[in-house]
Amino acid sequence: MSDIFLIKKPLATDKATRISSERKYLFVVQQSATKPEIRKAVKSIYKVDAVAVNIINIPGKSKRFRNVIRKGSGHKKAVVTLKPGQKIDTQ
């Protein structure tokens, strides 16, 4: 899979802003992405070296409209820790 399409977008939440001072960055990634693929994609897109990659699977929520219950699609987040002295400008 292409590195460009593996990472969907960087997350810009309060928590993501807070942990960016610790050299950790949050990204929404493809459901099929693995840790080595994410590490390679971050290196090719942002030109930085990742020390660690942690993955969080967010399950989809159930939505109800009248008597119809459907399951929303979940997503996968990746927390990427960079080497000391490196940073990503996600703005």
Which structure tokens are listed for 26? 């949050």
Say if residue 1's pLDDT is above 90.
Answer: no
CATH of the domain at 22: 3.30.70.330
Q: Strand pairing partners for 54?
A: 79
Tell me: the pLDDT tens digits for 41-77?
999 999 999 999 999 999 999 999 999 999 988 999 9
Say if residue 90's pLDDT is above 80.
Answer: no
Domain span including residue 60: 3-82
pLDDT band of 20, cuts 50, 70, 90: confident
Predicted TM-score (pTM) of the model is: 0.83
- Count Cβ atoms within 10 A of the Cβ of residue 90 and give its class: 0-12 exposed, 13-18 middle, 19 or more buried: middle
> How many structural domains is the chain composed of?
1
Residue-level pLDDT at 39: 94
Say if residue 91's pLDDT is above 70.
Answer: no
